[in-house]
């Protein structure tokens, strides 16, 4: 008898990075759930075989979701994924007022795990959730999984160890009640992927403010005349604002010593990119200037550094909305590695 294909429900799915990678790795994602209507079009256009549910998890009821998606309790072939946008637990010192509600999302996701008790549970989040695991609910989440017989493994991963061309540190948890052994992807050995390997070819030279009307979306943000002059004086392939720190016309008015050295910096061709954030189209928000050209990263370059396929469409007209969807995503390549690990473990039972 042929084994049923593993299926998954992707909570906090945003534009579908996790869904995309899981499908690449052989898992059938039957639904993605998110409360942000801005990400619906991106998710639906790129994941036609997955149902998009626009809902706030705080208002979603376990039994109703199970009925809507025909989910059964204790289904060995089911994966529940909770990649909540927990900026509240980020190590970056920012105003937490807007993200206050997000600090409880893990416990809301836990309701569905407790109700359905799937074969596998996946959680991906900011590293700060581990540093404050008593307050974030992680301690309770893990303890309850273990009481239910799950083998739980979690760690802080650098996704450059898993084929993603970024130094992107994230908390990753994979739990299963079907095995006594750890189920988790194995790190790559050898050199890490680089910016050159990701975007060194296949991208035509463009100026700042370029708008690409095709679905390739090689579009960039405008730059002020002063910022253009700053980039002209920034050393190619890895330079920073320190190159013009003492220029009376160009120097920054507010900075503290060498803090935030990455702001206004260029990427280095032969290193992984820094973390692609939701603000990667802005050179003032990190090391997001092109290694050679006098502009910031384009939407497609950011998506490629996040390992989205080149035919993944970001239909929104706003660069800011597309950048937010891309920066918030779980890199599909890492999601594929997770999926392949689950599929193999499932077949080896």
Contacts of 5 (CB under 8 A, 6+ apart): 26, 27, 28, 77
Selecting among 13, 39, 83, 86, the annotated active-site residue is 86
SS (H, E, C) 245-298: CCCCCCCCCCCCCCCCCCCCCECCCCCCECCCCCCCCCHHHCCCECCCCCCECC
Angle (CA) 320-163-345 rounded to 5° is 115
Give the separation between CA 295 and CA 203, rounded to whole angstroms.
Answer: 13
Give the separation between CA 47 and CA 333, rounded to whole angstroms.
Answer: 16
Name the burial class of residue 206, with classes exposed (0-12), middle (13-18) and buried (19+) by CB atoms within 10 angstroms of its CB.
middle
- How far CA 242 is from CA of 26, 262, 305, 345, in Å, comes to 47, 10, 25, 49
Beta-bridge mates of residue 7: 28, 78
- How far CA 35 is from CA of 40, 56, 97, 335, in Å, comes to 9, 5, 19, 21
Q: What is the CA radius of gyration of the chain?
A: 21
Coil, strand or helix: which one is 174? strand
39 flagged as catalytic: no
Kindly list the strands in the beta sheet with 51-54, ordered across the sheet, starting from the edge strand earlier in the chain.
51-54, 28-34, 7-11, 78-82, 120-125, 169-176, 151-158
Give the separation between CA 4 and CA 23, rounded to whole angstroms.
Answer: 15
Name the residues annotated as catalytic. 86
């Amino acid at each position: 008898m042929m084994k049923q294909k593993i299926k998954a429900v992707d909570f906090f799915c945003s534009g579908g990075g996790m869904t995309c990678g899981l499908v690449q790795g052989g898992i059938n994602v039957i639904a993605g759930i998110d409360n942000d209507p801005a990400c619906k079009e991106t998710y639906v256009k790129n994941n036609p075989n997955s149902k998009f549910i626009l809902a706030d998890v705080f208002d979603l009821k376990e039994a109703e979701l199970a009925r809507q998606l025909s989910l059964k309790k204790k289904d060995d072939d089911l994966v529940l994924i909770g990649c909540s946008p927990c900026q509240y637990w980020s190590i970056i010192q920012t105003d937490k007022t807007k993200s206050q509600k997000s600090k409880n999302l893990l416990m809301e996701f836990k309701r569905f795990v407790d109700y359905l008790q799937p074969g596998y549970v996946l959680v991906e989040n900011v590293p700060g959730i581990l540093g404050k695991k008593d307050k974030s609910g992680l301690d309770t989440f893990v303890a309850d999984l273990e009481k239910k017989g799950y083998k739980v493994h979690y760690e802080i991963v650098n996704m450059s160890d898993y084929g993603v061309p970024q130094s992107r540190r994230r908390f990753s948890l994979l739990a299963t009640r079907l095995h006594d052994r750890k189920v988790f992807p194995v790190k790559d050995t050898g050199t890490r992927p680089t910016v050159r390997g990701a975007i060194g070819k296949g991208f035509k030279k463009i100026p700042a403010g370029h708008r690409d009307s095709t679905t390739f979306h090689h579009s960039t943000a405008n730059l002020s005349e002063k910022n253009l002059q700053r980039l002209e004086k920034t050393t190619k392939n890895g330079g920073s604002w320190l190159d013009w720190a003492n220029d009376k016309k160009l120097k920054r008015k507010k900075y503290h010593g060498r803090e935030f050295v990455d702001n206004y910096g260029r990427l280095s061709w032969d290193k992984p990119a820094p973390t692609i954030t939701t603000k990667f189209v802005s050179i003032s928000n990190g090391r997001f200037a092109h290694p050679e050209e006098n502009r910031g990263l384009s939407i497609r370059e950011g998506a490629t550094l996040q390992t989205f396929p080149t035919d993944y469409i970001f239909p929104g007209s706003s660069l800011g909305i597309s950048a937010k969807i891309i920066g918030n995503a779980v890199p599909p390549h890492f999601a594929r590695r997770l999926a392949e690990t689950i599929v193999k473990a499932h077949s080896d039972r």
